[in-house]
A and B are shown apart, each in its own frame.
Chain A
Amino acid sequence: MDVLSVEGLTVDFLTAEGQVRAVNDVSFTVPENRTVALVGESGSGKTVISQTIMGLLPSAAQITSGKVMLSDPTGAEPPVDIATLDRKGPKMRHLRGNRVAIIFQEPMTSLSPLHTIGDQIGEAALLHRDVGGAEARELTQEMLRLVHFPDPKRGLDAFPFELSGGLRQRAMIAMAMICHPALLIADEPTTALDVTIQAEILKLIRDVQDELKMSVLMITHDFGVVANMADEVVVIYHGRIMEKGTAGQLFSNPQHDYLKALLNAVPSFNMDRDERLVPIRPIEVKSGDLKRGRAECAVPPGAPLVELRNVTKRFTSRKGGLFSSNAATMTALDQVNLTIRRGECLGVVGESGSGKTTAAKAILRAIDIDDGTVAYNHGDGLSDIAKLRGPALMDYRRRVQLIFQDPFSSLNPRMTVNDILTEPLQIHGIGTPAEQAERARSLMMLVGLDPRFLRRYPHSFSGGQRQRIGIARALALNPEFILCDEPTSALDVSVQAQILNLLQDLKRDLNLTYLFVSHNLAVVDYIADRIAVMCRGRVVEVGETREVVSNPLHPYTKALLSAVPEPDLDNRLDFSVLDANRASEPSVWPEPFGLADGVAPVLVEMEPDHFVCAPGLQDVRAFEGTAA
């Protein structure tokens, strides 16, 4: 029996420019107790479909044709066509939160900060389940236990800002589940979460589905999530369904060109070292203009270019006023040792709060470090960057550039692309205005954009194009070393492949060195020569990429790798082993990896050029040298 069946659904938006068709003749079904994945990139109309089912379409949208039938598998209520219901009427309200429920992408913003978790979850029960306040509280506590809240009773009175992202998403799931809906819509439920938390939440959705026998419509762009969760898959592009079928069919034998292209654009661990992703719209790098007159880096390939020695950074948060001073200190970087070799791409992976961005900022000298040194090789040996002043510092700023994570907020909306690209040149006083304009044109060509776009403002570009402008800006000063801070995490998979290939080509053509910060292990595996894994401000494992991925030695690296959902049906996550390891807690790592507070995170070379943080082995094979 199909819990949801969408037939010929067409949704139009009435905008100032006329009618825009967001969803075009879409039909699919969600069978009872099954998970259907709705896969598409941003702008494909997948969120509009979820809004249609929830009756949450904005007032500018109208259902032009089609049916959205919702049937209750228990038979308690007759099937209804949601498309015909008044969106704000009592019938739709009766379904929302009761028979169909939704969880959103952003657990940080989808709960009200002013109300307790218990209040917000229990509200749905009060509305639909005909219970009093005390009973609702009871039910809420029961739900919190079901979603594995550590202390359900205390959780009732907690405010969202007191909880981590993972716990908030658990609370959202509890809220959606409290009325035992027939259908759960999960709109990118794990996109904003760290990979280990993502695995836990996916497992939780699975468990709750088994327990309550409901159907799930999983909206996602992540094929890893699809492969691990979905029974059936619907691929949507520009409001039309491209292909649908069981997960087995689609992964083993994709028919439609779009799906094939999409699958080719996803990085995975079993790719060959020299295998390249195939983006849907590849970019041709034209680096000829830029190579002319480029000052080559004087450091020989493979020699240390940047070296972090026992770098420590503490953040102090002061709470309270004049009469109280309880300072809380947080160690963001704990004696970090890292070497970036000339010409390589060093990937830094870790979950949020692991200190990877702080490390990048320390290298940029955007923050001052409390202890240790960051040394840079200008061609005449390593020298401490903390001592750079005046012109020497400006020279360092020219050599080291940054590519940001968010292509939307990192470009000034009031500056034209031309202003954005020539600003670094003006700051450093390089070239005449005519030369600067010429440079801006060749930078645009370099990243595959038409130089005629120079007069436009950032808002007229897509996310991927903006990120290319950001890359062009970073290259304006002919840098030797580029820090990439999650440059693709805000982009769609097909655009991600395009940007990753662009970065690879630029590195090859311009002899660049990268530090690539990311939480996405598959991306780092694709682009990086060596990987450094960070956890709670410490480097726990460093080594050649293939070596670390195929032979992880540290328990945290193992946990991280085992939690990555692979876009491969033969390689599904083993949900049963996930629950046991809370691997991001240094004090519970087994010997010799255990790390109490105050113990130096010593790196030990356990395999050739493969270093692991293992204080227990310190005396056996003490780490000396600069290779890590």
Chain B
Amino acid sequence: MLIYIIRRIFLMVPTLLVISFLTFFIIELPTGDYISNQIAALKASGEQSSIAKLEFLRKEFALDRPFFERYLIWVGLWPGPHGFDGLLQGNWGWSFEFDKPVSEVVGPTLPLTVLLNFATILFVYVVSFPIGIYSATRQYSWGDYGFTFLGYIGLATPNFLLGLILLYLFNRWFGLSVGGLMAPEYIDQPWSVDKALSVLAHLIVPTIVIGTSGTAAMIRRLRANLLDELHKQYVTTGRAKGLKENHLLIKYPLRMALNPFIADIGNLIPSMVSGSVIVSVVLNLPTVGPVLLSSLQSQDQFLAGFILLFVAVLTLIGMLISDLLLAVLDPRIRLGGRAAQ
């Protein structure tokens, strides 16, 4: 098992390298870069004075080098204008748009993004698990139809609309401040118990809004998986032994139906980040989603590249977790090698 974990972690290294290359390649696909676009704009308006400074910046950030060199400098595998100074050395790059290091731009939002993602995934699993089991075991009952209907509404309602409605209701009922991930008075304040509580209270609406569609999809998936398993022969075998229905359900078919459920942890993360951009804008959430959008629009390449890579790392970690959980839960995966020998 330990060897399996180590092997899986080692496998992440080449995966990450490939992802970083693809990310960089895709970001560089549009012609030009942030600075050359600026130069073109300045030239058009006739301002010659700043151009020299921008040309200097292009050299400074090695934007005049060939593609592969630029990539390797960004990763930190090739000496740039200031020696080895890339992601591997802990330098996340420079954001031209904000005129700040990337770490300062995304620094405060990253923990909140991770927190929001974590809360959403937890919400998806906690809500969809019991409902999925209920829907499958009471197939075609009123409860099943009701949850199916709710699920479709969750899938069909635009997230920003749901967000606005919920914000309004929470404001009316609980006096929660509108927007953001904490009450305005705590912004830029040091962490305290009250601030943490405020963050938790403000997490509720975005978590529900971002999580609904994922929950609805997950309910349908668990329901379908479980329905498939319920009619398998081994369930009848268990029943023929005289097991009670609930005990039977939990021990046999539910455990089989869990596999796809767990395998999805990794896949949920990127869709949460990219899918929550509009919600984040509407609800004024300090997550990386809106930053990513604006950086892509303005070709702020180091910022965009870093955020994409960050999401990729989160995804890989999610996949690692689901792989390890699968190995723990399913002996066929754990012992697959043993059986083949």
Residues of A within 8 A of B (CB): 54, 56, 88, 93-98, 101-102, 104, 106, 109-116, 120, 123-124, 127-128, 159, 161-162, 172, 175, 317, 319-324, 326, 328
Q: Are A93 and B240 in contact (CB under 8 A)?
A: no
The answer for the CA separation of A322 and B14 in the assembled complex, in Å, is: 11
Q: Are B233 and A93 in contact (CB under 8 A)?
A: no
> Would A321 and B11 be within 8 Å (CB), given that A112-B256, A114-B256 are in contact?
yes
The answer for the CA separation of A326 and B336 in the assembled complex, in Å, is: 13
The answer for the CA separation of A98 and B241 in the assembled complex, in Å, is: 7
Q: Are B237 and A321 in contact (CB under 8 A)?
A: no
The answer for the CA separation of A161 and B334 in the assembled complex, in Å, is: 12
Q: Is B313 an interface residue (CB 8 A)?
A: no
- Of the residues A88, A114, A328, contact of B341 by C-beta under 8 Å: A328
Q: Are B335 and A162 in contact (CB under 8 A)?
A: yes
Q: Are A124 and B237 in contact (CB under 8 A)?
A: no
The interface stretch among B168-176, B203-211, B242-250, B284-292 is B242-250
Q: Which residues in B have their C-beta under 8 angstroms from that of A161?
A: 331-332, 339
> Would A159 and B240 be within 8 Å (CB), given that A112-B256, A317-B340, A323-B10 are in contact?
no
> Would A56 and B236 be within 8 Å (CB), given that A114-B256, A321-B11 are in contact?
yes
Q: How far is the CB of A59 from chain B (nearest CB, A)?
A: 11
- Of the residues A94, A111, A319, A322, contact of B234 by C-beta under 8 Å: A111
Q: Are A106 and B330 in contact (CB under 8 A)?
A: no
The answer for the CA separation of A161 and B333 in the assembled complex, in Å, is: 11
Cβ < 8 Å to A, chain B residues 284-341: 329-332, 335-341
Q: Which residues in B have their C-beta under 8 angstroms from that of A175?
A: 237, 241
Q: Which residues in A have their C-beta under 8 angstroms from that of B244?
A: 93
- Please list the 8 inter-chain residue pairs (A to B) with the smallest Cβ-Cβ separation, ordered nearest first: A97-B241, A97-B242, A96-B242, A109-B233, A112-B234, A110-B233, A124-B241, A93-B242
Query: Number of contacting residues on B, CB 8 A?
Result: 32
Q: Is B53 an interface residue (CB 8 A)?
A: no
The answer for the CA separation of A527 and B329 in the assembled complex, in Å, is: 49
Q: Are A109 and B242 in contact (CB under 8 A)?
A: no
Q: Are A102 and B240 in contact (CB under 8 A)?
A: yes
Q: Are A98 and B242 in contact (CB under 8 A)?
A: yes
Q: Which residues in B have their C-beta under 8 angstroms from that of A326?
A: 337, 341
Q: How far is the CB of B106 from chain A (nearest CB, A)?
A: 32
Residues of B within 8 A of A (CB): 7, 10-11, 14, 232-234, 236-245, 251-252, 255-256, 329-332, 335-341
Q: How far is the CB of A162 from chain B (nearest CB, A)?
A: 5
The answer for the CA separation of A422 and B145 in the assembled complex, in Å, is: 44
User: 6 pairs across A/B with beta carbons < 8 Å?
Assistant: A96-B240, A96-B241, A111-B237, A123-B243, A162-B339, A319-B337
Q: Which residues in A have their C-beta under 8 angstroms from that of B236?
A: 56, 104, 110
Q: Are A321 and B332 in contact (CB under 8 A)?
A: no
Besides A102-B240, A104-B236, 15 other CB < 8 A contacts?
A97-B242, A109-B232, A109-B233, A109-B234, A110-B234, A111-B234, A112-B237, A112-B252, A114-B329, A127-B243, A159-B335, A172-B237, A317-B340, A319-B336, A319-B340
Q: How far is the CB of B3 from chain A (nearest CB, A)?
A: 9
The answer for the CA separation of A319 and B245 in the assembled complex, in Å, is: 38
Q: How far is the CB of B294 from chain A (nearest CB, A)?
A: 38
Q: Are A113 and B233 in contact (CB under 8 A)?
A: no
The answer for the CA separation of A127 and B10 in the assembled complex, in Å, is: 46
The answer for the CA separation of A22 and B170 in the assembled complex, in Å, is: 58
Q: Which residues in A have their C-beta under 8 angstroms from that of B232?
A: 109
- Of the residues B7, B234, B239, contact of A96 by C-beta under 8 Å: B239
The answer for the CA separation of A326 and B337 in the assembled complex, in Å, is: 9
Most interface-central of B236, B240, B331, B332 (chain A CB within 10 A): B240
Chain A residue with the shortest CB-CB distance to B258: A114
Q: Are A104 and B239 in contact (CB under 8 A)?
A: no
Q: How far is the CB of A164 from chain B (nearest CB, A)?
A: 11
The answer for the CA separation of A186 and B19 in the assembled complex, in Å, is: 56
The answer for the CA separation of A114 and B253 in the assembled complex, in Å, is: 10
Q: How far is the CB of A278 from chain B (nearest CB, A)?
A: 35
- Of the residues B237, B251, B338, contact of A104 by C-beta under 8 Å: B237
Chain B residue with the shortest CB-CB distance to A88: B245
Q: Are A56 and B11 in contact (CB under 8 A)?
A: no
Q: How far is the CB of B138 from chain A (nearest CB, A)?
A: 12
Q: Are B340 and A328 in contact (CB under 8 A)?
A: yes
Q: How far is the CB of A35 from chain B (nearest CB, A)?
A: 20
Chain B residue with the shortest CB-CB distance to A51: B236
Q: Are B7 and A321 in contact (CB under 8 A)?
A: yes
Q: Which residues in B have their C-beta under 8 angstroms from that of A111?
A: 234, 237
Q: Which residues in A have their C-beta under 8 angstroms from that of B331?
A: 113-114, 116, 159, 161
Q: Which residues in B have their C-beta under 8 angstroms from that of A110?
A: 233-234, 236-237
The answer for the CA separation of A162 and B10 in the assembled complex, in Å, is: 29
The answer for the CA separation of A167 and B88 in the assembled complex, in Å, is: 55
Q: How far is the CB of A331 from chain B (nearest CB, A)?
A: 16
Q: Which residues in B have their C-beta under 8 angstroms from that of A101?
A: 240
The answer for the CA separation of A520 and B251 in the assembled complex, in Å, is: 38
- Of the residues B239, B256, B329, B338, contact of A162 by C-beta under 8 Å: B338
Q: How far is the CB of B233 from chain A (nearest CB, A)?
A: 4
Q: Which residues in B have their C-beta under 8 angstroms from that of A93?
A: 242-244
Q: Which residues in B have their C-beta under 8 angstroms from that of A106?
A: 233
Q: How far is the CB of B289 from chain A (nearest CB, A)?
A: 34
The answer for the CA separation of A419 and B233 in the assembled complex, in Å, is: 35
The answer for the CA separation of A162 and B11 in the assembled complex, in Å, is: 28
The answer for the CA separation of A161 and B244 in the assembled complex, in Å, is: 26
The answer for the CA separation of A229 and B284 in the assembled complex, in Å, is: 77
Chain A residue with the shortest CB-CB distance to B334: A159
- Of the residues B251, B252, B337, contact of A320 by C-beta under 8 Å: B337
Q: Are A56 and B241 in contact (CB under 8 A)?
A: no
Q: Which residues in A have their C-beta under 8 angstroms from that of B335?
A: 159, 162
The answer for the CA separation of A54 and B341 in the assembled complex, in Å, is: 39
Chain A residue with the shortest CB-CB distance to B8: A321
Q: Which residues in A have their C-beta under 8 angstroms from that of B336?
A: 319
Q: How far is the CB of B261 from chain A (nearest CB, A)?
A: 14
Chain A residue with the shortest CB-CB distance to B255: A114
Q: Are B11 and A104 in contact (CB under 8 A)?
A: no
Q: Which residues in B have their C-beta under 8 angstroms from that of A104?
A: 233, 236-237
Q: Are A127 and B337 in contact (CB under 8 A)?
A: no
The answer for the CA separation of A112 and B330 in the assembled complex, in Å, is: 11
Q: Which residues in A have their C-beta under 8 angstroms from that of B339?
A: 159, 161-162
- Of the residues B242, B255, B341, contact of A127 by C-beta under 8 Å: B242
Q: Which residues in A have their C-beta under 8 angstroms from that of B251?
A: 115
> Would A159 and B242 be within 8 Å (CB), given that A319-B340, A323-B7, A328-B340 are in contact?
no
Q: How far is the CB of B263 from chain A (nearest CB, A)?
A: 15
Q: Which residues in A have their C-beta under 8 angstroms from that of B11?
A: 321-323
The answer for the CA separation of A82 and B7 in the assembled complex, in Å, is: 56
Q: How far is the CB of A120 from chain B (nearest CB, A)?
A: 8
The answer for the CA separation of A88 and B245 in the assembled complex, in Å, is: 8
Q: How far is the CB of A170 from chain B (nearest CB, A)?
A: 14
The answer for the CA separation of A112 and B255 in the assembled complex, in Å, is: 10
The answer for the CA separation of A124 and B247 in the assembled complex, in Å, is: 13
